[in-house]
Amino acid sequence: MKKTVFLAIAAGLILLSCKSWGSTSSNGEGKIKAKKVHKIVYFSPEVFPNYDGIIEPTNKAFFNTVTNELKNYGDYRVLRVDTPVSYDTVDIQSIKDYCKNNDAEAAIIPKVKYFKVGIGKYVFSNQVIISMKLYNSDGELVMENSFDTYRGKGRLLGSAENSVNIGTSNVIKNLITELKSRNKIAAQ
Closest of 40, 134, 111 to residue 80, by C-alpha? 40
Q: How confident is the model at residue 12 (pLDDT cuts 50, 70, 90)?
A: very low
* DSSP run (H or E) holding 62: helix 52-71
Question: What is the domain partition of the chain in residue ranges?
Answer: 32-181
Q: Which amino acid is at 33?
A: K
**For 35-86, what is each residue's pLDDT tens digit?**
577 888 999 999 988 888 888 888 999 999 998 888 888 778 888 988 888 8
Q: Is 24 left (phi over 0), alpha (psi -120 to 50) or beta?
A: beta
How many other β-carbons are positioned within 10 Å of the β-carbon of residue 175?
21
Instruction: Please tell me the distance from the alpha carbon of residue 129 to that of residue 69, in angstroms, as a whole number.
Output: 18
* CATH architecture classification, 32-181: 3-Layer(aba) Sandwich (3.40)
pTM above 0.85, yes or no: no
Kindly report, residue by residue over 78-123, the tens digit of the pLDDT.
Answer: 889 888 888 999 999 999 999 999 999 889 999 999 875 555 555 5
